[in-house]
A = this chain, B = another copy of it.
Amino acid sequence: MHMEPGTFIVRHTDGKARCGELHTAHGVVQTPIFMPVGTVGSVKAIAPDDLDAMGAEIILGNTYHLYLRPGDDLVARHGGLHGFSSWPRPILTDSGGFQVFSLSSLRKLTEEGVAFRSHLDGSKHLFTPEKVISIQHNLNSDIMMCLDECPPHDAGYEYVARSLGLTSRWAERCRAAYPKDDVARRGQLLFGIVQGGMFKQLRTESAGQLIDMDFEGYAIGGLSVGESKDVMMDILAHTAPLLPEGKPRYLMGVGTPLDIVRGISHGVDMFDCVLPTRNARNGTLYTSLGKINIKRKEFAEDDGPLDPACSCYTCRTFSRAYLRHLFHAQELLSFRLNSIHNLTYFLDVVRGARAAIAAGRFDEYHQHFENLYTS
């Protein structure tokens, strides 16, 4: 059944947790969902056929990276990011702002936008709200993000208050550059990003200002940036309920399996993180019995599958002993097999959450992850 892009239907709730579906121009996304990160147009070590096999529904592309190389204009000439990377299902792109602050040098923040030098060749660039919308137009992502400033976790009240003002004015300029009328016409959705640091009052202010701009969804930014888990969950618990129930909620850059399940318990619908792929490349693998490091001697003669409860290609096909060997030899295949497994695990976490919510047993599901990862 075709529905207008942006249609978001909550099918079940269980406490604050909910499961539903988000309609986009490239298909429906079941929520809660985890989005594998495909920074420069490929999820590291993973091809679209692998994503299909693991049941990935939506992936993330990084605007900063794709703008610098190969360039959003080139991507536009080759069918947008879907056509260019041969991934036919939904894509979310970030605004690039976060990467400007974490990767580039000589940043200069003004009302106009943020000037920076490329981490690749030192060339000078300027991201403005209008510019990042234009880039995301070119990439033709299903979900675009507003340019925002993400303050450090230990920023003071005054700084954060000023910063969220800027974020709100930039959000307004993004909405103006991509008005509501364009949503149906172009099919791309635009999400606002709530900031406000670790100050609940500022989170409330930020959320209020963004909701007035009527975005197709709302992200919670500025978390998982160095603060403690307790603070993160406290701010999340405050912020998530401020957001409209009928719109998808996206917790940016989060996180561990436990963070994700806790996020779902607060009513979050969407998550992304490099953790499963980055850890895969470091040999840290998630299993139904907890996290392991495949490097360890104890796996040298272990004939069992990485995770007996997992049905991914890696677990169906190879032993822990072989995976350990590949990792020690730093064979390229190691990175793919480990990434396939970790991504499958993260997708299984959200699939399990959806089933638990639909069955009214989410508390139990949540508790299982608390026990697994905090004992």
Q: How large is the interface on A (under 10, 10 to 19, 20 to 34, 35 or more residues)?
A: 35 or more
Cβ of A227 under 8 Å from chain B: no
Q: Which of A272-329 contact B (CB under 8 A)?
A: 300-301, 303, 313, 317-319, 321-322, 324-326, 328-329
Give min CB distance, A334 to chain B, whole Å. 8
Q: How far is the CA of A226 from the CA of B246 in the complex (A)?
A: 70
Contact A78 B321 (CB under 8 A): yes
Q: Nearest CB to that of A328 among chain B residues?
A: B69
User: Quick check: is A336 within 8 A (CB to CB) of the other chain?
Assistant: yes
Cβ contact within 8 Å between A84 and B44:
no
A163 to chain B, nearest CB (A): 32
Interface residues of A in 222-245 (CB under 8 A from B): none
Q: How many copies does the complex hold?
A: 2
Task: Find the B residue at minimum CB distance from A303.
Answer: B78
Bound-state CA distance A192–B331 (Å) is 30
Residues of B within 8 A of A40 (CB): 325, 329, 331
Query: Residue A84 contacts which of B45, B46, B321 (CB distance < 8 angstroms)?
Result: B321
A11-57 residues at the B interface, CB under 8 angstroms:
40-42, 44-49
Tell me, yes or no, whether A86 is within 8 Å of chain B by CB. Answer: yes
Contact A70 B325 (CB under 8 A): yes
Q: Across the interface, do A85 and B42 meet the contact criterion of CB distance under 8 Å?
A: no
Across the interface, which residues of B come within 8 angstroms of A326, CB to CB?
A: 41-42
Q: How far is the CB of A187 from chain B (nearest CB, A)?
A: 22
| Residues A70 and B332 in contact in the complex (CB < 8 Å), given A318-B86, A321-B78, A322-B84 | no
Complexed CA–CA distance, A45 and B78 (Å): 27
A43, closest chain B residue (CB)? B333
A266, B333: Cα distance in complex, Å: 36
Q: Is A198 an interface residue (CB 8 A)?
A: no
Query: What would be 19 A-B contacts, judged by CB atoms less than 8 Å apart?
Result: A40-B331, A41-B322, A41-B325, A41-B326, A41-B329, A44-B331, A45-B336, A47-B313, A47-B333, A47-B337, A69-B325, A74-B300, A74-B321, A78-B301, A84-B321, A84-B322, A85-B322, A86-B317, A332-B335
The residues of A with any CB-CB pair to B shorter than 8 Å are 40-42, 44-49, 69-70, 74, 77-78, 84-86, 300-301, 303, 313, 317-319, 321-322, 324-326, 328-329, 331-333, 335-337
Q: A78-B303, A78-B319 are in contact. List 7 more A-B contacts (CB 8 A).
A: A42-B331, A44-B331, A48-B317, A49-B313, A74-B301, A332-B335, A336-B336
